[in-house]
Structure 1
Amino acid sequence: MPDLLNPRNDFVFKRIFGSEENKDVLLAFLNRTFAESGDPPLTEIVLLNPYTDKDAPRDKQSIFDIWAKTDEGKLINVEMQLFNKYDIEKRTLFYWSKRYSSQLQEGQPYTELKKCVTINILNFSFIKNDRYHNVFHLREDHTGIELSDDIEVHVVELSKLDDQSVPTGEGLVNWLLFLKGIDKSNWEVLTMNEPTLKKAMDTLEFLSQDREARRRYEERQKYLHDEASMIEWATKKGKAEGAMEIARNMLALGLEVPIIAKASGLSEAVVQSLKSNL
């Protein structure tokens, strides 16, 4: 049997959780997620952008997030992020605000706006604590009084999970260990805790054996790696250019080369070269 595909690849993730035939899988996952923030269980969800074969792995227009709506009209956005695209907090708020504001048509009252929930599942660490699941709301600093319940952001960090330890009971951690890629020998224990996980596992095994699905997966994986490499290159380039600008400004102030080198992180030879060219 071929190796299992990576369920953290957003193409595969959407096939497992964002297709009409697996809506019960998404519902079970969401209920475990919301249970950890004290929310009552959902009974039904509607997929607003279900997976279709038109979702092209390298097409920037293809949306591999999962958009859903509850019976009460609450909007839910689930996104798997394999690589750190930086400025994640601003990116999250930007896309949350677009989903929130898009609910209103011209002339409609603000009372029509429903709660929007964002769930970011990260393959890297971002929040500066040891919790693998953090939930954010809009509250007053001193009293904890909630200004509005309309915004809720979940940040789930797979990197903070101990993948060597198999849980003994039900809960979100079983789903996250599956996504993290826990050894298949532990799958039976996970499904005993969470029976609906079996369907997610069966879907992953089917996709892993399907030639077309594997081809599209590899295409998407390459796109994600290329995108991550470009971001890393741009970040390093930006830092280097920033250091050069700092050094030029300090030279203009008449500071000594060794001091500038220490402050900017550049070598003394580079700073001396900049000084010669001023």
Structure 2
Amino acid sequence: MARPVFADPKTDFVFKRLFGSEEQKDLIVALLNGLLELDETHRIVSVELLAPEQRPAVAELKHSIVDVKCRDARGVTYVVEMLVLNVEGFEKRVVYNVAKAYVGQLGRGQLYPELNDIIGITICDFELWPSGEGRRVPMLSRWRMQEQHGGERGLGQLQFVFLELPKYDVSRPPQTVVERWAYFFREAENLTMVPEVLAQPPYVDALEAARTAGFTEEEWEAYLRAGMALQDERGALSLARTEGRREGQEEGLRQGIEALCEVLGIALTEAQRQEMAALDAAGLSALLARIKARQGWEP
């Protein structure tokens, strides 16, 4: 199989290769500065990667959610995550991870003033907050606690940043730092050359690190298997949702039949209930139509 020019940076293997390795620490610094929109005075200049993980065996890959944890010179810890599938409980998991990182700083004998801020940065390959009904959350959103009456901000020890990739406006070239990062994550695997909008650091450096020609055979095979694992999970999630909709439709039809029978004064026998339980959506629909037409349960 011919290799694409660039690997997909949204996969676990490539994401950690780019942003979770000592060799590419400049990239995680640039990503943090870009997504936090820090000015020159407050820019992060160096980070320490926490609990560095070796690239895992493919069978162990967490192929829907990956994370990189690092700490800057001020002591602030960043939990950087990529999520490609909208799994159940995602928002709770993000809050849990950030809160766990905050609590985990305090060892035995240490005092509360020694705790540093934690900032969770999550890149989503889906819309977490779709626009509609008067709500519009921008592509890059930042969240922290706020007093509900006067709007005063406080308790900033835990902060959350989300980049929703589908909200990137594909009708025009990227113009801001945040848009360039969104464009990189969305389009890297489809590019055949370095585009002009990504031709300067740090984006060109990220593309070069994702260039598949630099992968060893072992790394390439790991990347392929990681992609297959992700496709398998997508398929399993899609099947589960389809099954859930089907089961919900069938249960709704059964409830409709029972309600109609109650209105018509039809007492359902145990045999009829068992018959109804064995029918799929099409059979239930046909049974409902017969009852409506004949006002009775006849074969």
Q: TM-score range by the shorter chain?
A: 0.7 to 0.9
User: 1:87 maps to what in 2?
Assistant: 89
Structure 2 residues without counterparts, runs of 5 or longer: 131-135, 265-279, 292-296
Indicate which of 144, 147, 151 corresponds to 2:151: 144
CA 1:60–1:25: 2 relative to 1, 3 Å: closer
User: 1:23 maps to what in 2?
Assistant: 25
Q: Is the 8 A contact 1:137 1:152 kept in 2?
A: yes
CA 1:230–1:143: 2 relative to 1, 3 Å: same
Q: Kindly provide the amino acid, as one letter, of the partner of residue 166 in structure 1.
A: P
Q: Secondary structure, in 3 states, of the residue corresponding to 2:94?
A: helix
Give the CA deviation at 1:223: 1.4
1:270 paired with 2:284, answer yes
Identical-residue share of aligned pairs (%): 27
State the alpha-carbon separation in 2 of the partners of residues 214 and 87 from structure 1.
32
Alignment of 1:72-221 (within 5 A): 72-128=74-130, 129=136, 131-168=138-175, 171-181=177-187, 183-185=191-193, 187-192=195-200, 195-206=201-212, 209-221=215-227
Alignment of 1:245-256 (within 5 A): 245-248=251-254, 254=262
Give the CA deviation at 1:100: 2.0
User: 1:260 maps to what in 2?
Assistant: none
Q: Is the 8 A contact 2:174 2:183 kept in 1?
A: no
The TM-score, its normalising length taken from structure 1, stands at 0.80
Indicate which of 70, 73, 79 corresponds to 1:71: 73
The number of equivalent residue pairs is 263
Residue by residue over 1:130-172, the C-alpha shift from the partner in whole angstroms, topping out at 9 and shown as x without a partner, is 621111111123322223101111111111112352234x512
Give the CA deviation at 1:234: 2.8
The TM-score, its normalising length taken from structure 2, stands at 0.75
Structure 1 residues without counterparts, runs of 5 or longer: 257-265
CA 1:207–1:134: 2 relative to 1, 3 Å: farther
Residue by residue over 1:90-112, the C-alpha shift from the partner in whole angstroms, topping out at 9 and shown as x without a partner, is 22122222222222224533333
User: 1:232 maps to what in 2?
Assistant: 238
User: 2:16 maps to what in 1?
Assistant: 14
State the alpha-carbon separation in 2 of the partners of residues 29 and 60 from structure 1.
23
CA 1:211–1:247: 2 relative to 1, 3 Å: same
Q: Is the 8 A contact 2:143 2:159 kept in 1?
A: yes
Give the CA deviation at 1:36: 6.4
Q: Is the 8 A contact 1:2 1:208 kept in 2?
A: no
